[in-house]
Amino acid sequence: MRYGTVDVLRGVTFHANRGEVLALLGPNGAGKTTTIEILEGFRMRSAGEVSVLGTDPAAGDEAWRARIGVVLQSWRDHSKWRVRELLQHLGTYYEPYGKPWNVDQLVAAVGLTEHAHKKASQLSGGQRRRLDVAIGIVGRPELLFLDEPTAGFDPHARREFHDLVHRLSDLDDTTILLTTHDLDEAEKLADRILVLAGGTIIADGSADALSRRMATEAEVRWSRDGDLFVHSTSDATGFVRQLFAQYGQEIADLEVRRASLEDTYLALVRDFEAGDQEAAARSFEKRNR
Amino acid sequence: MNPTAAAIRAGIRRGRIELRQTFTNFQDLWGYLFPAVALLVVMTLMRGSTIPGTEFSRGTMTLPSVLGVSVAFSSLVNLAQILTIEREDGTLLRAKAVPGGMLGYLVGKIVMISGTALINVAIVLVPGVFLFAGLDLGDVGAWLTLLWVLVLGLVATMPLGAIVGSLFPNARNLGAVMLPIMGLVAISGIFYPITGFPEWLQWIAQVFPIYWLGLGMRSALLPDGMQAVEISESWRHWETAGVLGVWAVIGLVVAPMVLRRMARRESGSSVAARREKALQRIA
């Protein structure tokens, strides 16, 4: 993908399996939104091959569109429409292609039953976001795109949203591709995590696989005689075994913390950017030689 | 069900829902009623003066002309405004994300704009019938002429509204089109017979649909004797149909191309970028 003369995406290669939840992570400007918009068919790519549900999104027709759900970041569109009225109306567009959600069930699924007769402009930020999700899934899509779905959610709304995503992927076998800045969320929701940095996929795997690949160190905390100790090690099990062998009963408050996805992610991006800078420095030297 | 038919049907429903929303909303209602009341007051003040060379009231002559302008405004200006606003707020992008959504959106807009034009005409015409003497509404012919001028006028001006709405980046820039349109209204013989203007100005006015909409409405509602103050002392129905028809054909050829090009560029990030800009303006 190219803007002017700058390639913003290169070597973005991945595959999503049916019913899988994929999280696309990456720093701002990494190309997450561009990637997702190419897949949604809202943006033309300059090169490469893309197949979404067996069709090139650049040539996707209305029947293809009906199999895809897009959760958009809303602002103030349809502000005069009432929640139920809007979902009912948008559902009718999917009728020739399949069976859209029953509007009352859908309203209940996103937790808006009490607000079903409110105008969209009267909803709070979190409620409005849930309406966006409802609009995205009203046609029972096989594939759902979520661009930062929980930005601005309170913890409760976030938990409910996570339950909804689980339900969609488990019960309806919906394939989901989401972007997020919330690493906890990615870890909770995603079967697989893709890390996008500098327009390239630099990691692809489950949260576990990523942290194993990075061989990040675990943190061991314990106390002995009232003093607190912290030690970082890549072999937590071996270290703890040794600790007990040495001090036995004196050890208390033992706590082993595996590197979180956040640590792994930050390490990945840092390594990548360091590599990038080295490469940039090398080409700079070459040019100046 | 055939997907295209389903989208068109959804669009008609959409237009009806939006009509209901706009006429149950205080702000929008005010937007329709205020100009109507203002125009009725202006025309009432003109009741006393007569068209030069006749005994006919200027107020009565202005009423049908104003109906013509009102049709042009409802379809051209309103549609352009709605398109730019709904592109900015993401309504259009939502339509794009739904199968058949763009077709439904467009049909919905046609229904909604036609409905508002009809109501805009009614809220001036109905009180006007009681306020102004000399309107010739007795026979079926008058109503038939009113109908075909109204329909053809909508078909001629709505695509222009779609083109303008697609080309302007946001609703705030639309002022740039309002000025020339107001100028056209001034020279199109709406408030004063066009034959009173210099001939070159008459030619300019006759290129654009506003003059013909006004003329068509006058031909429907005024007694035939009033042809005397028109160009070539005739209602010129063939010419009216011809010029409006040409605008309709041009519009219907160009508008889909412009609309398609505009819609193709819509994406989540383009809406987000406009939102950022708009929020900066507020802050």
Per-residue pLDDT tens over the stretch B21-58: 999 999 999 989 999 999 999 999 988 888 877 788 88
Which of B280, B128, B283 has the alpha carbon at shortest distance from B217? B128
Averaged pLDDT, A178-185: 85
CA trace torsion A133, A136, A138, A141 (10° rounding): -120
The band of A6, judged by pLDDT with boundaries at 50, 70 and 90, is low
pLDDT of A156 above 70: yes
Identify the structural domains of chain A with CATH numbers, from first to last. Answer: 2-208 (3.40.50.300), 211-288 (no CATH)
pLDDT, position A280? 52
DSSP assignment letter at A6 = E
User: Does an H or E element contain B97, and which?
Assistant: none
B8–chain A Cβ distance below 8 A for any pair: no
pLDDT, position B119? 94
Give yes or no for a contact between B232 and B240, defined as CB atoms under 8 angstroms apart. no
Averaged pLDDT, A22-46: 86
Averaged pLDDT, B250-273: 87
Distance CA B134, CA A57 (A): 62
Amino acid at A260: S
What is the per-residue pLDDT across A182-203, written as a single tens digit (0 to 9) for each? 888 888 899 999 988 878 888 8
Q: With CB atoms and an 8 Å threshold, state whether A77 touches B1.
A: no
Query: What Å distances lie between residue A241 and A232, A245, A250, A254, B68, CA to CA?
Result: 15, 6, 14, 12, 91
pLDDT of A11 above 80: no
pLDDT of A118 above 70: yes
pLDDT of B156 above 90: yes
Distance CA A249, CA A251 (A): 6
Backbone angles phi and psi of A114, in degrees to 5? -65, -25
Q: Contacts of residue A135 in chain B, CB cutoff 8 Å?
A: 94
Query: What Å distances lie between residue B283 and A12, A36, B18, B182, CA to CA?
Result: 38, 30, 30, 32
Percent of chain A at pLDDT exceeding 90? 28
Which distant-in-sequence residues (6+ apart) come within 8 Å of A289 by Cβ?
none
Q: Which candidate in A9, A42, A122, A147 is best for mutational testing of the B interface (most B CBs within 10 A)?
A: A42
How close A258 gets to chain B, by Cα (Å)?
37
Q: Residue A72: which of B14, B22, B94 has the nearest Cβ? A: B94
pLDDT of A146 above 60: yes
Inter-helix orientation angle A125-137/A155-171, to 10°: 10
**What ipTM was estimated for this complex?**
0.88
Q: Contacts of residue B275 in chain A, CB cutoff 8 Å?
A: 75
What is the per-residue pLDDT across B57-74, written as a single tens digit (0 to 9) for each? 888 999 999 999 999 988
Averaged pLDDT, A171-188: 87
In chain B, which residue's Cα lies nearest the Cα of A81? Answer: B21
Distance CA A23, CA A149 (A): 11
What six digits make up the tokens of B249?
A: 């054909």
Q: With CB atoms and an 8 Å threshold, state whether B94 touches A77.
A: yes
Distance CA A21, CA A36 (A): 14
Q: With CB atoms and an 8 Å threshold, state whether A33 touches B269.
A: yes
Which of B172, B166, B197 has the alpha carbon at shortest distance from B184? B197
Inter-helix orientation angle B58-72/B101-131, to 10°: 170
- Spell out the domain ranges in chain B: 3-282
More confident residue, B138 or A3: B138
pLDDT of B170 above 90: no
CA trace torsion B138, B144, B150, B155 (10° rounding): 180
The two most distant CA atoms of chain A are separated, in Å, by: 73
pLDDT, position A2? 55
How close B264 gets to chain A, by Cα (Å)?
7
Q: Contacts of residue A57 in chain B, CB cutoff 8 Å?
A: none
Lowest mean pLDDT among A70-79, A94-103, A148-157: A148-157
Size of interface A-B (CB pairs under 8 A): 95
pLDDT of A283 above 90: no
Q: Contacts of residue B25 in chain A, CB cutoff 8 Å?
A: 80
pLDDT of A284 above 60: no
Whether this model's pTM surpasses 0.90: no
In chain B, which residue's Cα lies nearest the Cα of A33? Answer: B269
Averaged pLDDT, A262-267: 80
How close A133 gets to chain B, by Cα (Å)?
12
Distance CA B94, CA A53 (A): 21
Backbone angles phi and psi of B33, in degrees to 5? -75, -40
Calculate the average pLDDT of chain B.
90
pLDDT of A285 above 70: no
A88–chain B Cβ distance below 8 A for any pair: no
In chain A, which residue's Cα lies nearest the Cα of B2? Answer: A96
pLDDT, position B184? 92
In chain A, which residue's Cα lies nearest the Cα of B25? Answer: A80
> Considering Cα of B162, then B166, then B167, then B172, what sign does the dihedral take?
positive
What are A11-17's contacts with CB under 8 Å, separation 24+? A11/A199, A11/A200, A11/A201, A12/A48, A12/A196, A12/A199, A12/A200, A12/A201, A13/A201, A14/A194, A14/A201, A14/A204, A16/A143, A16/A175, A16/A177, A17/A175
pLDDT, position B281? 75
* The length of chain A, given as a count of residues: 289
The band of A286, judged by pLDDT with boundaries at 50, 70 and 90, is low
What six digits make up the tokens of B218?
A: 């006058």
Lowest mean pLDDT among A67-76, A134-143, A272-281: A272-281
Strands A200-205 and A218-224: unpaired
A239–chain B Cβ distance below 8 A for any pair: no
pLDDT, position A102? 94
Distance CA B78, CA B255 (A): 16
pLDDT, position B232? 87
Chain A residues 92-111 with CB within 8 Å of chain B: 92-97
What is the per-residue pLDDT across B175-190, written as a single tens digit (0 to 9) for each? 888 889 999 999 998 9
